[in-house]
Chain A
Amino acid sequence: MKKRNPYLTVGLVMTGILTALIVLGFFWTPYDPNAMAAGPKLTGPSLAHLMGTDSFGRDIFSRVLKGAGTTYGIALCTVAVGAVCGTVLGAVTGYFGGIVDDVLMRLGDVLTAFPSILLALVVISLLGPGKTGNVILALGLVFIPSFARMARGTYAGLREVNYVKSARLMGASSSRILWRHILPNTWSVLLPALTIGFNNAVLAEASMSYLCIGVTPPDASLGYMLSESQGMFMSAPWYALGTGLTLVWMVFGVGLIGEGLQRRGGGEV
């Protein structure tokens, strides 16, 4: 009998609503998000402009939709890069162990020794700022060690359990054991980690755009919008609030999903 899991439900609803809005934003926004003087400058929320307008007279709601989409997309790609590379590395090192394990894990330690944002900044400045691909690459690289470490731990633990031993005795190849036998049993750990990683990526992207090295203006990004709105917090609070609350909504929704998954996973194991 499944217990009720409000975390998962609420999280899924919140994320669902936001995702629907973002998908909508790809096809339709009330105004062109980059069109200046779409309305009067710096007006508060109204029916014509749900979240008001910014100092260029751009519709903040349209920009939030587009900006959230950008942030969302970058975060998904980043987590995908980090999770795939990290899991493969972690699986191999955890399952086989030995010198490769030692070397790769120490390398991972070196990477984690730097604060992740700082490391991403270094990578970006090497690759050149202002390109979405580079942002994904830089953040993805930063997220590899945490996934690798987690996957390694799980794989090392499952290496000697009975079903893996029997698979080995039956002559299954290493890759079959790694991906068909062990991987499905890591989901309960991997899924919550994915949600945490996603949130970290959202915030990291926002911070980088805030510092002008992520998405380049005039294209919308939640981080750059926050940075713009900061100076007008007293005169136009709706700008910072609309943008900031969207970011909080996004992170909180996915965070709740992670929490829900963890609780469900904890019940099953």
Chain B
Amino acid sequence: MKKRILTLLAAVCLLSAVLSGCGGGSQNGTTGTTDQSTANTQTEGPAARAAAGELNVGIAQDLDSSLDPHKTVKAGTREVMFNVFEGLLKPDASGNLNPAVAESYTVSEDHLLYTFKLRAGVKFHNGQEVTPEDVIWSYQRCGDANAPADIIQVAAFANVEMYQEGDDTVCFQLQEPNNEFASYLTTAVLPKDYTEQDTAPVGTGPFKFVSRTAQESVVLERFDDYWGEKPDLTKVTYKIIENADSILLSLQSGAVDVFAHLTTNQIQQLGDGFHVEEGTMNLVQALYLNNAEKPFDDVRVRQALCYAIDRQQILDLAFDGYGTLLGSSMYPAFSKYFDDELTNYYTYNTEKAKELLTEAGYPNGFDMTITVPSNYQSHMDTAQVIVEQLKAVGINAAIQPVTWESWVQDTYSNRQFQSTVVGVDASNMTARAMLERFVSTASRDFINYNNADYDALFAQAQACYDDGEQTALYRAMEKNLAENAANVYIQDMADFVAVRDGLEGPSFYPIYVLDLSTIHYTK
């Protein structure tokens, strides 16, 4: 009997070790011994790596099975391969688009003809020079309805005529104006007749791909023929560490020098020898409300929620005070579009919340359900605080934890929910990527936001080619979302990168990438 109790206890311990709980942090919960160093080519120890200018970076999940940038699905793959590939244009840390493979470009007055002059002497990692044929082939591949299904199609490239002019110029003739066309030209330029892009990718970036061991590592090396400023690091090894519990160990044991996307909990346990860079996750965490569902079809109820939720307390309790408060569907990294005045559009005020609820016919509050993908501990924690805060105005909220798959299917695609706590990000570096989803006809309008003014503003913004005017329109859209309390906007979560002392230079981008070219050893 006693033995049996012991066995049971042991079983529970084992269970906790194997299933890394819902607070595990690892999104897929898989475990694996990924902590061993790779082959013998690996320089041992942080000191030896520093001397050789090498770097080991930890990443929490393996890359896509194909490394072809036109087939990339996972944000984690883009984060790594950002260093290998470039388009005609390349984004920088402040969100500008700078010429990369192109040297300069002009746009015709009717906004239909884009003319790109290629930079002279840009080489692919295999030694070939980039030709206009390569550029045209690469972009046509992404806009070709007959291309293999796994190549992700860019709608902006469909119906665009691409042709060469002279030896070094590529022209794009559009059918109708598209004021965000340039942002799509960050799509990677690939060599035309190269067939092994899936397994041995070749691009023009500052680092070239060397090797990959599935579930274990990806190795990049400095590309010495790079056209721009050459990075300091000579070699970078990405180590895949899927088990959340091993992340700290991998840093402390010296296996890894840099690890991004850590939690406050993890950085507090980091210990000596590291410093932490704080950025933002570039997403909008909010209590998203189904605007078509009672009682959230009433703007007063939505506003009441905004007044009843103390966002600063959410940061203090669930995020150790880290994070940036938001007031609309835009995060600060989009500095051009971000309107800081909306952040405090609603301030915590339970009296006002109660007044609004009474006006809307709910003097005693109501019952509501918050659907939360339970693999995201940060969203679960946020929801817990919200449940407590809503009690003060008589709203009885219950959390419904769901799996990520079920959230994507039922909540997001089928819109079967009342409210949900989640983070929404931008798929590319345009304000449109954040704001288009709340247009009433958008397929991604999962909150069923339906506001004629908003739709009209979006249509105006699309028809507008003056940058300043368009920015003003996008800002007006953000204000519209705040005024109508489309959602209860909370924060852009803090993102922590642990960096070994003696290393410097990771910078934060408005998109999900880790730029290696700026990282360097200080000693």
Contact = CB atoms under 8 A, between A and B. Distances in A.
A218 B384 contact: yes
A104 interface: no
Nearest to A224: B22
Contact of A130 (B1, B8, B401): B401
B45 interface: no
Interface stretch (B13-21, B455-463, B498-506): B13-21
B214 interface: no
A35 B317 CA distance: 12
Contacts of A234: 269
Contact of B23 (A35, A207, A231): A231
Given A56-B384, A231-B23, A231-B25, A210 B16 contact: yes
B400 A255 contact: no
B438 to A, nearest CB: 29
Contacts of B399: 130, 216-218
Contact of B16 (A55, A226, A255): A226
Contacts of A255: 1-2, 4-5
Contacts of A141: none
A195 to B, nearest CB: 9
B12 A206 contact: yes
Contacts of B24: 230
B388 A230 contact: no
Nearest to B23: A227
Given A36-B388, A216-B399, A216-B401, A210 B22 contact: yes
Question: How extensive is the interface on chain A, given as a class?
Answer: 35 or more
Interface of B is mostly: helix
Nearest to A247: B12
Interface stretch (A65-73, A164-172, A196-204): A196-204
Contacts of B265: 231-232, 235
A259 interface: yes
Interface string A177-215: 000000000000000100010011001001100111100
Interface string B379-414: 011011101100000000011111000000000000
Interface string A236-263: 0000000000001001100100110010
Interface in B1-60: 1-2, 4-5, 8-9, 11-12, 15-16, 19, 21-25
B269 to A, nearest CB: 5
A130 B269 CA distance: 32
Contact of A212 (B1, B2, B374, B381): B374
Given A203-B12, A212-B401, A255-B5, A227 B22 contact: yes
Contact of A211 (B1, B2, B11, B21): B21
B9 to A, nearest CB: 7
A112 to B, nearest CB: 16
B318 interface: yes
Contacts, number: 100
A32 B384 CA distance: 14
Question: How extensive is the interface on chain B, given as a class?
Answer: 35 or more
A101 interface: no
Nearest to B370: A216
A214 B363 CA distance: 32
B146 interface: no
B197 interface: no
B373 to A, nearest CB: 10
Contacts of B12: 203, 206-207
B313 interface: yes
Nearest to A210: B21
B2 A259 contact: yes
B401 A213 contact: yes
Given A129-B401, A199-B8, A217 B21 contact: no
B268 interface: yes
A212 B385 contact: no
A174 B263 CA distance: 65
Nearest to B12: A203
Given A210-B16, A212-B374, A218-B388, A251 B8 contact: yes
A85 to B, nearest CB: 23
A49 interface: no
Contacts of B401: 129-130, 212-213, 216-217
A256 B48 CA distance: 57
A230 B5 CA distance: 22
Contacts of B22: 210-212, 224, 227
Given A37-B313, A55-B317, A56-B317, A228 B388 contact: no
Given A226-B21, A235-B269, 12 more contacts: A55-B381, A196-B1, A200-B8, A203-B8, A216-B400, A217-B401, A218-B384, A218-B387, A227-B21, A232-B265, A252-B5, A255-B4
16 contacts: A36-B313, A55-B381, A56-B318, A117-B15, A129-B401, A196-B1, A200-B8, A203-B8, A210-B16, A213-B401, A218-B388, A224-B22, A230-B16, A230-B23, A255-B5, A259-B1
Interface of B: 1-2, 4-5, 8-9, 11-12, 15-16, 19, 21-25, 263, 265, 268-269, 313, 317-318, 374, 380-381, 383-385, 387-388, 398-402
Query: What 3 A-B pairs have minimum CB-CB distances, sorted nearest first?
Result: A212-B22, A227-B21, A259-B1
